[in-house]
Copies of this chain bind each other. A is one copy, B any other.
């Protein structure tokens, strides 16, 4: 959260205001608001996946607080592509106002519609294509094809009288992509010549030197591994990575194997991709799981989810021998995926489990079976030089990525004062070719846990972390408040503290004594007695065990 909050001024006519609600200082929950003369345009509305210091949280949403009272001002949501960190929070926004129009490419809309269907929401949509110019309220939008690890991604140029903004969404600059749809540098150049006043580039890989390897270089490696496999082959990847799956299908065909899609999201997304023509499925190659299980081992490839070690996904269940696909000696498992920082332990646990079962596990650590979807530093330099933006606000990255992107911009000639490194909630106003920071809104984390949204707070997560580190001890006592004499109890419950309850035998007499002494010193109220119990147990546990569990005393009048 930003340190120095300050409110922006009332927005003057003719000025464009930009404020990101997510995606700055983190990889995920991308969402940026553009405001012009009373109208709001939203670009992307994604989720963030929790880290281990946010236990039990299912998803983290952008903080809608700054626009919650202005939902009717929203003219529409532009979705740059169909990844969860760009579309995952759309259902939560539409719960607040169902008829906000969504704009995006064909595949993007198909994926968000499938998601919304699970939430029983039928959205208003408007399909757009690269090179198309469209309008939402005062915003003229021009869409530009970009290449990413999902097909049909779009950058969006936003024109208002205040100037021209270019917002890339996620992209890289693979010069030989599988579908031939490159990031349109001619369009970037044309916009650059028109004059880009503010540029919001994807910064995820800005600290990676050089260039992202070609996606098409993965195919031959997959083919080589599959050609040498003597038994079953299981490939795990992201369920939206159509081009990676395409390469698996092609390698399967080349090696006379059938393919079964495994995992709910894999089956659903590949169904959509095939129906819309993004995935080229050779005739007769796809079989269902049941058929595949009965085929000879060397005639089948299972294309599954779970490449990040997610405990409930197919791959982790296989490694725990808790899936219909029984992995055994001589099988080959390929993790054709990135390893998202923070998931290492989970992924290596799965790899170790599969190895113990006898599988040969191929992953990006020992073979070139993955390439990133984001532009590395070398590619970003091309972008900055082609676009020559007047002002830059790097997005989609942790602090180190935003800084690296800003440094690249500066090296290509952007004035240091015009390269803005911000946090979520930063307010940037654009007028006459100058972008200025005019405010810093207070942006929190909105946690989804079970069916609750925003009910779990940072205070609850702090409690959870203490519970996880130390467990708790609760002490229930019914007492005669006049004498401090215990009528019922102490009834001591502990979890995560020690296996054997007899450890508490030492503290019981101390509690009895402390309460009587407290009564003698004049304590009469519940709160006072509870404090005594907390202190007595806390001192005992610290001295005897050098530990600090959560202590919850409940003292009631008998």
Q: Give me the interface of A with B, judged by CB distance under 8 Å.
A: 25, 51-53, 55-56, 207, 209, 341-342, 344-345, 348, 351-353, 355-356, 361, 365-366, 398-400, 403, 449-452, 455-457, 459-461, 463-465, 467-472, 474, 476, 478, 488-489, 491, 493, 495-500, 503, 544-547, 550, 552, 554, 556, 558
Per the bound structure, the CA–CA distance linking A460 and B403 in Å amounts to 43
Per the bound structure, the CA–CA distance linking A106 and B344 in Å amounts to 37
A25 near B207: Cβ-Cβ < 8 Å? no
A-B contact pairs, 19 of them (CB 8 A): A25-B352, A55-B468, A56-B469, A207-B366, A344-B344, A355-B399, A355-B400, A451-B547, A455-B500, A455-B545, A460-B498, A467-B495, A467-B496, A468-B468, A472-B495, A488-B556, A488-B558, A495-B550, A495-B552
Instruction: Tell me how far the C-beta of A365 lies from the nearest C-beta in chain B, rounded to whole angstroms.
Output: 7
B352 near A476: Cβ-Cβ < 8 Å? no
B547 near A450: Cβ-Cβ < 8 Å? yes
Given A352-B400, A450-B547, A545-B452, do A499 and B459 touch, yes or no (CB 8 Å)?
yes
B460 near A468: Cβ-Cβ < 8 Å? no
Q: Which residues of B contact A55 (CB under 8 A)?
A: 468-469
A56 near B25: Cβ-Cβ < 8 Å? no
Per the bound structure, the CA–CA distance linking A25 and B254 in Å amounts to 37
Q: Which residues of B contact A463 (CB under 8 A)?
A: 471, 495-496
B503 near A455: Cβ-Cβ < 8 Å? yes
B344 near A460: Cβ-Cβ < 8 Å? no
Q: Which residues of B contact A400 (CB under 8 A)?
A: 348, 351-352, 355, 361
Q: Which residues of B contact A456 (CB under 8 A)?
A: 497-499
Per the bound structure, the CA–CA distance linking A474 and B473 in Å amounts to 11
B469 near A493: Cβ-Cβ < 8 Å? no
Nearest residue in B to A343 (C-beta to C-beta)? B344
Partner of A464, one of B366, B471, B545, B556: B471
A499 near B366: Cβ-Cβ < 8 Å? no
Q: Which residues of B contact A544 (CB under 8 A)?
A: 451
Partner of A472, one of B344, B355, B467: B467
B361 near A493: Cβ-Cβ < 8 Å? no
Nearest residue in B to A495 (C-beta to C-beta)? B463
A468 near B498: Cβ-Cβ < 8 Å? no
Instruction: Tell me how far the C-beta of A234 lies from the nearest C-beta in chain B, rounded to whole angstroms.
Output: 16
Given A398-B348, A464-B468, A556-B488, do A499 and B455 touch, yes or no (CB 8 Å)?
yes
Most chain B beta carbons < 10 A, residue from A450, A465, A500: A450
Known A455-B498, A467-B468; further 5 A-B contacts with Cβ < 8 A: A361-B400, A450-B545, A455-B503, A464-B471, A478-B478
Nearest residue in B to A26 (C-beta to C-beta)? B352
A452 near B495: Cβ-Cβ < 8 Å? no
Q: Which residues of B contact A399 (CB under 8 A)?
A: 352-353, 355-356
Partner of A491, one of B398, B489, B503, B554: B554
Q: Which residues of B contact A467 (CB under 8 A)?
A: 464, 467-468, 471-472, 495-496
A209 near B556: Cβ-Cβ < 8 Å? no
Per the bound structure, the CA–CA distance linking A500 and B544 in Å amounts to 34
Q: Which residues of B contact A352 (CB under 8 A)?
A: 25, 398-400
Instruction: Tell me how far the C-beta of A529 lies from the nearest C-beta in chain B, rounded to whole angstroms.
Output: 14
Nearest residue in B to A470 (C-beta to C-beta)? B56
Per the bound structure, the CA–CA distance linking A118 and B55 in Å amounts to 35
Per the bound structure, the CA–CA distance linking A449 and B498 in Å amounts to 10
B556 near A491: Cβ-Cβ < 8 Å? yes
Per the bound structure, the CA–CA distance linking A95 and B550 in Å amounts to 30
Per the bound structure, the CA–CA distance linking A497 and B56 in Å amounts to 10
A471 near B460: Cβ-Cβ < 8 Å? yes
Per the bound structure, the CA–CA distance linking A469 and B50 in Å amounts to 12
Q: Which residues of B contact A471 (CB under 8 A)?
A: 56, 460, 463-464, 467
Nearest residue in B to A454 (C-beta to C-beta)? B499
B554 near A476: Cβ-Cβ < 8 Å? yes
Instruction: Tell me how far the C-beta of A349 lies from the nearest C-beta in chain B, rounded to whole angstroms.
Output: 9
Instruction: Tell me how far the C-beta of A473 lies from the nearest C-beta in chain B, rounded to whole angstroms.
Output: 11
Partner of A341, one of B345, B356, B455, B460: B345
B51 near A552: Cβ-Cβ < 8 Å? no
Q: Which residues of B contact A25 (CB under 8 A)?
A: 352
